[in-house]
Every structure is written in C-alpha cells, then in structure tokens.
Structure 1
Amino acid sequence: MIAAPHPKEAERLRTLRSYDILDTPREEDFDEIVALASELCAAPISVINLIDDTRQWFKAEVGLGARETPVATSICSHVILDDGFVEIPDTLSDPRMADNPLCTAAEGLRFYAGVQLVAPNGLPIGTLCVLDNKPGHLDPLQRKALEVLSRQVMKQLELRLALKNQAILAREADHRVKNSLQTLSSVVRLYGRNLSDPQALEAFDAVLRRIDAVAALHSELQGTDQNGQVDAKAYLDRVIALLEQSAPDNIVIDGQFDNISLRANAAAALGFVISEFIANSIKHAFTDSETGRIDIRLAQKGAELHLDCQDNGKGSRDSPDGQAVPNLGSNLMAAAASQLDGTLENGLTAAGSRLSLRF
C-alpha cells in the first residue's frame, strides 16, 4: 500500500527543505547516532530517513547500503502519518506493509521501529528507525533510547539551521555596512577637496584608507561562510586593488599572499598596516618621474605569520640615520600592529623603505 500524502504535505516539504540537508555528504555526527541506535536496539539496520516528495533519502544508515529509495515503497512514509513512535513487530501482519516488495522479498524487512523527526512547527520531516529481517520488538529501555536519539538528530538539524540563518544575517549586515562605508568615503573625499593644510590632508587620507580597508573587509565577509573568519589573500587582494586605483602610473604594487584564514579584526589591522606602508611609499619614496615598485608579502612560517613590505625608493639616501619618515601613518601602523600583539620593524635602508611584522 502506498502511503497517502501528509495532510500538510506542501508545508511539510518546505520545512524539510529549509534545513538544506538533502543530498549532503555523510557526516560523523549522524553516522554515530545510527550506529548507536543499531547497537542499543540489537537491530542490523538503522536509518536517519528524510521523506521527500518522491523519495526517502538517508542522511545516515547502517546495514542498508543505499542513500535513497522510492517513496512508493517507504515504510516511513506511513509512519509520519501515525503517532510519534511506531513499532511494527511483523510487517507482513500489517496491512500497510503486507504487499510492500521490501517486506515480501526473501530476507525482506520484517521488523520496524521508528520515531518521527518533528520540526518545531509540529510537522514530521522523517524518522530515525531500526529494522530487522526477522520479526521482533523493543523493550522499554530500547524504545526510550530511540526517542532520545531522534531528539538529538533534530537538535543537530536545528543547530545547523540557526547557523545558516545567522550567516545570512551577518552577510546582510556586512553588505549594509560596506555600502554605508562607501557613502561615508565619498562624503569625506568631498570635504577633503576644500582642505589645504598638509597635516589635515594627511589625516583625511589616513581616514579614507581606513574606511576603504574596512569596506573591503565587509565585502569579503559577505562571501564567506566561516564564522568571523576571513580569507586573507582575497581580502588583501581587494586592499591592493583599491590602492592601485590611486597610485601614480609610474609605481607598480605587487602583493603575494599565502592562503591563510584570519579573524576579521586581525585582517582589518593587517590591511591597515599594508595600506599605510603603500601610502607612505607613494608619498615619500619616489619622485614624480621615477619608476618605482612596492612589494607586499604575507607568509605563514610555522605558527607565526610574516608580513614583509618593501619599496625600491630613495630610502635612507636622503635620511642618513636610517629612520622611517616620521608621520601620522607610522604611528597608526604601530597602533594596528599592537592590536595583533605583533612585533613591528619599520625603517629606511639604502635600498628603500622596509617593514616587517611578525604575529
């Protein structure tokens, strides 16, 4: 007998699909549950079974060797129409299963016990069940164990759904913050056009670089599913691209970054150090006609990250003491490095400006 559709089938299917669990790879968290259910219930087969429209799909199984079967032969499609817990001691004695080829075949499924997987809205999306090729029954402790394990399955699914929704909200927040920062950057640039004082202009430029770097950070956060983590290479490539837009044609900026994941606040501090070094090099290291190059490298060395920045500008040739040009940017770089609990060295050599940051 083919099971009738659930009275709220359309809503039930929407609920099931909201979990984004169908057709996902096997996972240890769920495999352990079916293995434990099989052992506790002394049943050779155990399945986390999700009832889709035309198929039953198994998130985890032991003893079955399949990932899905047609819903037309599904025992669980009948069970989701019943009470929360269903036990069928002998499937061939149950009119719903008596003609089911999975039960009537030689070595067919003769015993079934399952607990509905019920979403918070009260709708069943599937079952956690155990099966055997011979008739049987569960004792009260086994039944209780199956019920507890079914609730653990739903807690896993609910946790994943909550994390997915949190990620969606975070991406929307990052999108809004990025747009707001881009608007703020435009306003600051408009005000900056009316300034003539060199110190004020330097401060405005530093503010703009920080705004642009943080906007780039939120753009990168929009595209990541990792909680609070940023792909450092993708983010720093964005920062370099922003700086290239305002760099003179005679200066080449080259960034080479290892594939590293960073906390968002660490990435922001790192982006600011890089943007300040490049801005200082463009401003102080080269003449208007001199061809120049700025190289930025980020590499992982064991448990430590190494940032190395250098240019081939005039360096200490005009500053014999070998010290970095004192300005607001250098102070801000030191402050950013302190946020990383890192060691910063920044100075001039005969070959140009150099910066190293270890954190």
Structure 2
Amino acid sequence: MNRFLESLPLARDRASLRYGAALAISSLALALRFALVPALPSGFPFTTFFPAAIIATFLLGAGPGVLTALLGAAAGLYFFLPPLWSLAPGHSAAFALGVYAAVVTLTILIIHWMQRANIRLRAERQRGEDLAAHAELLFHELQHRVSNNLQMIGSVLSLQRRRITDPGASQALADAVAKLQTIGRIQRQLYNPDGAHLSLDRFLPDLLADLVNAGGRPGIECSVEAKAGVQLEAHAAIPVALIIAEAVANAVEHGFADRETGTIGVHVGFEGEQLLLSVVDDGVGLPAGFDAAASNSLGLKIARTLAEQLGGQFSLTPNAVQGSVAKLHLPIEWRASA
C-alpha cells in the first residue's frame, strides 16, 4: 500500500494520458449526477463533482484535479443551479459555487502537498538505498583488500622462513603464518556490512569446517551443540573465535597427529553465571603431567591471554573418556542481546 501511495500521481511523464483520464472522470461524474436527479432534492449541484475532483487529484495529480474541479463547477452551475442552462450564477448559486470552490481547492492543496512529500520521501529512500549499496560495495572491497594484505604478509613470512635454518625460529614463523590465516578466515565470517551479530550456532560450524579443511584433515568430523541465538558482543567475537580456533587447531595437530580420522565437538551453554564454550576431541589425549598454565605453546599462551582480557578463563585438560577438552568460561556480560 505504501509503495502504491508513493507512486502517485500516476503516469507523471505522460501529461496527455493524465488529462484525458481527468476528462473521462468528469464525464462519468456528470452522467452520475444526471442519474441521481430523481433521488436528490434541489440544492446539491456538486454531489458527484466534488469526489470526482478528489479522485482525479489523488490518482492523477493537482493539474488534472483542478481541471476536473473546474469542469464540475461549470457543469453544476449550468445544469443544476438556477437559472438553469446558464453560466450566470444567481445569488444562491454564487454562494453554493463559492463553498464548492473553497472546499475543493483546500482538498486539492492538501492532496498535492501530501504527494509532494511522498515524492521527496521516495527520492530520499532511493538515495539511502544507493548509499547503502555503495557502502556495502566499499565494505566488500575493504574486506577483499584486508584479506589480500593478510595473504601477502603470510607469503612474506613464508619466504623469510625458507632462509632461516634455526628450527625454533622457523617454527615460530610457521605459527605466525598459521595465525594470520586463521584471523583472515575468522574476519571474513564474523563481520557483516550491516553490523549484525552472528549467532554462535550459525557461525561455529562454518569456522570448524574451514579450520579442519585448512589443516588438510578431511577425515576429522566436527559437530556443534549450541543454544540457538547465543551471540557475543562485537569486540568479544574475534578473541573468542581465535580461542576456539586455537583449541581446534591444537586438537588437529596434536590429538590426531598419527590419525586420519576422529571427532571434534564444540559445545556452547551456560554454567552458573558464566557462558561456557568447550572443545572436546577423542584424540590421543594429553601427555602425563601436562599443565596448560605452564605450557610454552604460543597458541595456548595466546588463548589464555585473550581469555584473561575478556575477564574469563581458558583451560585444557584430559577428557574423562578419551582425548582432551578445552574450556572457555566467560562472564555473561559479554553476551549480546538477541
């Protein structure tokens, strides 16, 4: 309905059609007024001409509306006001004609102003849609450039790694390249041009599949159990995604080092007053006496640091049955309102 109202007046670029339609409306109004002569008492000369002028103005614009109103005034004066068959109004006819002219003029002006407002509104909405489309284009271009820059940095680090003979330094650069690639994948999935939050139950399956595929381990199956609609604040989404990515990467690299198949499950729920995200695998498990807090692993240090920055806690412990379980506890304050 709103779209129809904003499209008025009709046929704005075809004046002949609009004025021809106004003549047709005037003719119908005159024929209807003659048909109502037996049913109407004298003194109602403009009964059908007033609504005809309003309809013409509403559908066709102010110009056709004015033409319809003038034709109606002439027809009412000539055919239905004394002296009949004359365009010279008597005293009572002049009064009726004046009332008709005042009411129809005011009504036509109101409809005209409303249509002008609708035209401006439509133009502003079109301008807004054009700006939104341009902003989305710029956003995707920015995302593309950021992704290319991350790939370029990773390529530079990979080239530099080839020149390094020290195993520790070479591994550090390899880890840095992997982290850059992970950040690039997370960024592409997390950010929307409209700024909307992504629910974890929709985001995590894609992230897990991407991480496993990037590691070249298609035999590892991933699953996500998450309460529908759980979201995170925008500034917490990237750190949480990085922590989950590190836990998955650790399971793939160490838990399934000598296996081509396995399962990784991510669970999202609540534990008391905290949001709990856990990554469970059925791999070989952790070495005896393993202490994540004392580990020199760069990935685990990053996960612990990010968790602490969010006011949460990250832990990696043996699973009760088989494999290991990584847990991230976060204050519920980081949860975004749905």
Q: By the TM > 0.5 criterion, same fold?
A: yes
**Given the alignment of the two structures, is residue 281 of structure 1 paired with residue 251 of structure 2, yes or no?**
yes
**Given the alignment of the two structures, is residue 269 of structure 1 paired with residue 203 of structure 2, yes or no?**
no
Q: Could you tell me how far apart the structure 2 residues matched to 1:81 and 1:195 are?
A: 76
User: CA contact under 8 A between 1:256 and 1:297: conserved in structure 2?
Assistant: yes
Once the 2 structures are TM-superposed, how far is the Cα of residue 346 of structure 1 from its aligned partner?
A: 0.9
Amino-acid identity (%) = 20
User: Which of 168, 187, 191 is the matching residue for 2:156?
Assistant: 187
User: CA contact under 8 A between 2:209 and 2:222: conserved in structure 1?
Assistant: no
Q: 1:248 and 1:157, CA in 2 relative to 1: closer, same or farther beyond 3 A?
A: closer
**Given the alignment of the two structures, is residue 244 of structure 1 paired with residue 244 of structure 2, yes or no?**
no
CA offset digits 1:230-256 (Å, max 9, x no partner): 565665444433432454759725142
**Given the alignment of the two structures, is residue 312 of structure 1 paired with residue 270 of structure 2, yes or no?**
no
User: Which of 22, 27, 42 is the matching residue for 1:97?
Assistant: 22
**Given the alignment of the two structures, is residue 294 of structure 1 paired with residue 264 of structure 2, yes or no?**
yes
Partner of 1:162: 131
Partner of 1:256: 224
Within 5 A, what are the aligned runs for 1:138-157? 138=106, 144=113, 146-157=115-126
Q: Could you tell me how far apart the structure 2 residues matched to 1:263 and 1:115 are?
A: 49
User: CA contact under 8 A between 1:171 and 1:221: conserved in structure 2?
Assistant: no
User: CA contact under 8 A between 2:278 and 2:326: conserved in structure 1?
Assistant: yes
Q: 1:141 and 1:287, CA in 2 relative to 1: closer, same or farther beyond 3 A?
A: closer
Partner of 2:84: none
User: Which of 10, 23, 33 is the matching residue for 1:76?
Assistant: 10
Partner of 1:226: 194
Q: Could you tell me how far apart the structure 1 residues matched to 2:114 and 2:20 are?
A: 28
Count of residues paired in the alignment: 267
Once the 2 structures are TM-superposed, how far is the Cα of residue 187 of structure 1 from its aligned partner?
A: 3.1
Once the 2 structures are TM-superposed, how far is the Cα of residue 202 of structure 1 from its aligned partner?
A: 4.5
CA offset digits 1:163-199 (Å, max 9, x no partner): 1221121112212322332333333233334445454
CA offset digits 1:27-56 (Å, max 9, x no partner): xxx58xxxxxxxxxxxxxx81117xxxxxx
Q: Could you tell me how far apart the structure 2 residues matched to 1:252 and 1:227 are?
A: 33
Q: Which runs of 5+ in 1 are unaligned?
A: 1-25, 32-45, 51-74, 83-90, 117-126
Q: Which runs of 5+ in 2 are unaligned?
A: 33-47, 70-103
Q: Could you tell me how far apart the structure 2 residues matched to 1:225 and 1:338 are?
A: 29
Q: 1:76 corresponds to which letter in structure 2?
A: L
User: CA contact under 8 A between 1:102 and 1:109: conserved in structure 2?
Assistant: no
Once the 2 structures are TM-superposed, how far is the Cα of residue 153 of structure 1 from its aligned partner?
A: 3.7
Q: 1:252 corresponds to which letter in structure 2?
A: I
User: CA contact under 8 A between 2:189 and 2:203: conserved in structure 1?
Assistant: yes
**Given the alignment of the two structures, is residue 209 of structure 1 paired with residue 178 of structure 2, yes or no?**
yes
Within 5 A, what are the aligned runs for 1:51-62? none
More helix per residue = 2
User: CA contact under 8 A between 2:316 and 2:325: conserved in structure 1?
Assistant: yes
Partner of 1:49: 7
Partner of 1:355: 327
Once the 2 structures are TM-superposed, how far is the Cα of residue 152 of structure 1 from its aligned partner?
A: 3.4
Once the 2 structures are TM-superposed, how far is the Cα of residue 210 of structure 1 from its aligned partner?
A: 2.8
**Aligned with 1:97: secondary structure?**
helix
User: Which of 299, 304, 314 is the matching residue for 1:334?
Assistant: 304
Q: Could you tell me how far apart the structure 1 residues matched to 2:62 and 2:208 are?
A: 52
